[in-house]
Amino acid sequence: MSDAPPRGTGSAPVSALVDELRAVARAFTADEAATASILETMAEDVRRALAEPLTIFPVAHHSPASAVHMVRLLRARQPKLVFVEFCEDLRAQVEGLRDCTLPVALQAFSSEPVGFPPDWAPLAVVAPLTELSAEYQAIAYALGTEGVELVFVDRDVDAVFRWMDPADNPMTPEVDDDAEDDDDSGRLHGEAVGMEVGRLEPSFVEFRDALLQNARMTHFSEWNALYIEEPTIGADTHTYREVMAMVGSLFRRLGSTPHAREEIRRRDRFMWTRIKQTLAARKIDPKDAVFICGAAHTVADECPEWGTTNSLLWEEAERDAKSGTAWKYGFIPSSYGAIELQFGHPRGAVTLAETVWRKAIARWNLVPFTLDAGKPTKAAKAGGPKPKAKRTAPVPEQLGLRAVLRDPPPLTEADEAELIGWCTRVVADARKHRYLASTADAIAIYETSILLARMRSRRRPSPFDFIDAAETCLEKGAVPGRRDIRAICNAMLGGDRVGQVGYASLPPLVQDVYDRLAPLGITAKTTKVVRALMDFDAKPELRACSRLLWRLHWMLPDARVARPIMGKLELGAEPRQESWDVRLSGPEQRAVIELGFAGVTVEQVLERRLTEAAFAETARTTAALEAAESCLLLLDRSRLAETLGERAVHLLAREHGPDDAGEIFDRARRLVHHFRAHPDGVPQWLSRFVATGYATYASSLPAAFGDRGTSPAQLGAVLSFVFTLESLALAMGCQRSQLVIAIEQAGAQAADPEKLGLLWATQWLVQLRDEAGVRGAFASVLEHPLGRNAFPRYLSGFLRALAFAPKAAPLAVELLGRAFSVLPDAVLLPWMPGLLTTLREQAIDTVPALMKELARTLPAPGGLARWSPPWIEAPEIAAKAPVIAERSEHARAVDRLLQRFPATTDAWAQALAIGAPWHDEDAVATPVDTSGAARADGPARRLVDAHPETAQAWAPMFVSRR
């Protein structure tokens, strides 16, 4: 059996090793006794761990060596009971692993924790599993082999948080400075607390740094790869266990902070209690069981319950009261990137581990355990598929602990070809990513890899050396494409893998989503983005898919699960075509799974979210109204909409100011317009909302006009609400007098020029002021030398009124015209940006009316030179107007004479057939055209010209009479 102690090893070589180490201590330290004591304790730890009847199998997370030896041990021993250091309450979920594509993570999630600080919410724990994790191999063995039981023995998920210091927030895990999150797959675990079996990194930072500095390494993964992975992967399983036990002892005793050490001890007590309880209950000999745990748990460090040779149980394991938090369990997809990010491994570390694992299983002709969908088969009864018997499996060399500590790992089989292969492939891949790379570079990378390996005391280059060499030779300062050399190398060595949770292991909600999206060809196996083109005329059944996608889009706006490319969701609109990008893999699948923890169907969760949004303690009217509108849009449930709407009415009645008036008005108007065109008419709740709004806003007007904290824009929104929805409000029993009184009162309050402009317009609307009055008010501002500079502000306020008073447009155009003609540039230019901004804000409400009026008023192209604004009297026109000449005294005397004795003139008029207009009363006042032009050719003129004697005889007579 490969895990049996090699000949000549066992406890004797450990003692020999201790003697040897003591000699070293004597040579290098002054205090030999202290060092000896530490060394002896460590040796004792190793001896005790290996002597325990229950096989303790120490592992490191995602360690190929651990996984290889796990496979070997399970095949050799075929234990009946497998204990794993995982939270005991996660056990029920593992059956679902059969259906998943690795890597996936077991997850426990709670959005509403009870008994924990509120800022911890939501709480989540993830335990990622990859094929090369020893714990997965053990799970696959246990689930795939009949008669083998799998037991998780660690404290439950609730205790993970219960045992934490309330001062620490576990949901903000520390992330390594060097860790990069440039990939979607890195976000897969969210902010969950990570659980690893066998976290093999010292928690005592100074100790870890000393190790790294001594080894001249920057990252612990590298240290682990060189000093633990490489030497043990080729060793026998017994030696592997010895090395791991020794490392565990070293890290626990010297490399752990007191806090971490205490936590490990507490977990040890819990786990050994559970182990002994299970063994007793199942009546299984400890020799037929295996306990898979982190290396630190191999040490019996002040833990009386440690080991199966005593019967002590930790009573607190039963007494520890749960918090009352309801936990939801399931799987979420994971990825190598997410694992690296969460556990602070350098980028690509898990990919490299997978490369090593694949090579090792090929080298030792091992068949790893896998889980197939379905029950354990007969072939699996005897411990799963057997290694192929085509060639004899090589047997690992029995090295012993001492040999591993003394000598570098033996050379593996010819790896030269593999390294050359890497060098040529990376150059080819780099070229594809627009690097200038040639065969000469492949040679340089090969040489550099060898040199780096030698410098780092390795017999042959590791993937770390290869990547460093490739980076040195190919990276030239700037990255020409999307990937840098390190990313190219990682992709070449296997790349990131993203897992997928299988259909059967998904929560009901997610299964339902997959079922309903099946017409779009989306299944639980789809890993790519699906572009869904929906033509509802051709396929009306796709409307259901569209509705689901809109709901997912609303609930997960940032998760990119459903992204509309073409199509809009509007009240009352029935689209004929839509186009969507749908992703339900990787992080997106995780997001939907977490939704699945909140309810059984998407609609149920949506309903709850809407209700929560509207009924939250701090909810404002806008939130409730939005929820009501979203309910109509997404769920089309009028009863829920009514509940939400009533909540909005309730909140609106308690609104203290017009802060949200703009948004409230927009939504309310949209809803009213929609329902006015609806066969059922405006619902009661909406009518009540409008009436409440009218009453609330109308009564708040005096305060709003006077309050400096209320902006003119907010005031404009309030007035828009009041005037635009007034008809509905009056129909609901509101009184206009309330508004008129409020506006009258507001007149005394308003002082701000912009608000005054708005007020004048409002007064005009409610007939407290006529158009001339408004014009006069503005004229007084313009004429006043001190008020003139503020004229733009008055006008800005007036322009806001256009949103609810289109009849003000002609006057607005006139006032704008006056402002531009009268005001100096020094006033106009600073005003321009503000004017444009105001107009842009009201682009929909104001600008169309203004443009229409301008188009009516302004001349056609080309006519500008002769055009004059209608509100200004043009001087040219005045010049052309009939000139009433100043009449001389003679002329006035003639007039008087003619009027007193009209008989002669009448006779002449009769003779000339020209009528007698002087008999009209008005004619007296009507000026007579004496320009002469009109009568130059007239018959009277001709008569006078022909017989001037009469006129000449009269003339002296008129003069003498004067």
CB 656 within 8 A of CB 703: no
Which DSSP category does 498 fall into?
B
Calpha distance 842→431 (Å, rounded): 54
For another protein, give the closer residue by CB, 138 or 452.
Answer: 452
Tokens 């799974």 locate to: 593
Question: From the CB of 183, what's the least distance to another protein, in Å?
Answer: 21
What lies within 8 Å, CB to CB, of 842 at 6+ separation is 716, 799, 800, 802, 803
Question: From the CB of 226, what's the least distance to another protein, in Å?
Answer: 12
For another protein, give the closer residue by CB, 446 or 550.
Answer: 446
CB 660 within 8 A of CB 703: no
Cα dihedral 27, 28, 29, 30, rounded to 10, equals 60
For another protein, give the closer residue by CB, 355 or 448.
Answer: 448
Question: From the CB of 19, what's the least distance to another protein, in Å?
Answer: 21
Question: From the CB of 219, what's the least distance to another protein, in Å?
Answer: 9
Question: From the CB of 250, what's the least distance to another protein, in Å?
Answer: 15
Which DSSP category does 682 fall into?
S
Calpha distance 789→823 (Å, rounded): 8
For another protein, give the closer residue by CB, 255 or 346.
Answer: 346
Question: From the DSSP assignment, how many helices (H) and strands (E) are in the chain?
Answer: 42, 11
CB 552 within 8 A of CB 562: yes
For another protein, give the closer residue by CB, 211 or 299.
Answer: 211
Cα angle 373, 375, 377; round to 5: 105
Question: From the CB of 168, what's the least distance to another protein, in Å?
Answer: 20
For another protein, give the closer residue by CB, 339 or 445.
Answer: 445
Question: From the CB of 443, what's the least distance to another protein, in Å?
Answer: 9
Structure tokens at 484: 């840098």
For another protein, give the closer residue by CB, 476 or 531.
Answer: 476
Structure tokens at 753: 């020029």
CB 171 within 8 A of CB 191: yes
Question: From the CB of 221, what's the least distance to another protein, in Å?
Answer: 13
Question: From the CB of 230, what's the least distance to another protein, in Å?
Answer: 17
Polymer length of the chain: 962
H/E run at residue 847: helix 847-857
Q: How many of the other CB atoms lie within 10 Å of CB of 481?
A: 12
H/E run at residue 126: strand 123-129
Coil vs helix vs strand at 502: coil
Question: From the CB of 248, what's the least distance to another protein, in Å?
Answer: 22
User: Phi and psi (nearest 5°) for 935?
Assistant: -110, 10
Calpha distance 274→279 (Å, rounded): 9
For another protein, give the closer residue by CB, 477 or 709.
Answer: 477
Coil vs helix vs strand at 383: coil
For another protein, give the closer residue by CB, 450 or 828.
Answer: 450
Residue 873: exposure state from Cβ atoms within 10 A (0-12, 13-18, ≥19): exposed
Coil vs helix vs strand at 695: helix
For another protein, give the closer residue by CB, 205 or 565.
Answer: 205
Question: From the CB of 842, what's the least distance to another protein, in Å?
Answer: 30
User: Phi and psi (nearest 5°) for 493?
Assistant: -80, 5
For another protein, give the closer residue by CB, 212 or 835.
Answer: 212
Short-list 797, 859, 784, CA closest to 823: 784
CA quadruple 170, 172, 176, 181: dihedral sign: positive
Question: From the CB of 441, what's the least distance to another protein, in Å?
Answer: 7
For another protein, give the closer residue by CB, 214 or 952.
Answer: 214
Residue 746: exposure state from Cβ atoms within 10 A (0-12, 13-18, ≥19): buried
Question: From the CB of 460, what's the least distance to another protein, in Å?
Answer: 15
For another protein, give the closer residue by CB, 467 or 562.
Answer: 467
Short-list 748, 760, 746, CA closest to 815: 760
Question: From the CB of 203, what's the least distance to another protein, in Å?
Answer: 17
For another protein, give the closer residue by CB, 214 or 767.
Answer: 214
For another protein, give the closer residue by CB, 459 or 650.
Answer: 459
Structure tokens at 554: 């609303």
Which DSSP category does 932 fall into?
S
Calpha distance 468→452 (Å, rounded): 8
The letter for the amino acid at 301 is: D
Q: How many of the other CB atoms lie within 10 Å of CB of 959?
A: 10
Question: From the CB of 181, what's the least distance to another protein, in Å?
Answer: 16
User: Phi and psi (nearest 5°) for 633?
Assistant: -70, -45
Question: From the CB of 448, what's the least distance to another protein, in Å?
Answer: 5
For another protein, give the closer residue by CB, 430 or 559.
Answer: 430
Question: From the CB of 440, what's the least distance to another protein, in Å?
Answer: 7
Q: List C-alpha distances in Å: 92 to 108, 150, 598.
A: 12, 10, 19
Q: List C-alpha distances in Å: 616 to 623, 667, 692.
A: 9, 20, 21
**Binding residues vs another protein (CB under 8 A):** 28, 177, 213-218, 436, 438, 440-441, 444, 447-448, 451-452, 454-456, 468-469, 471-473, 475-478
For another protein, give the closer residue by CB, 447 or 570.
Answer: 447
H/E run at residue 107: strand 104-110
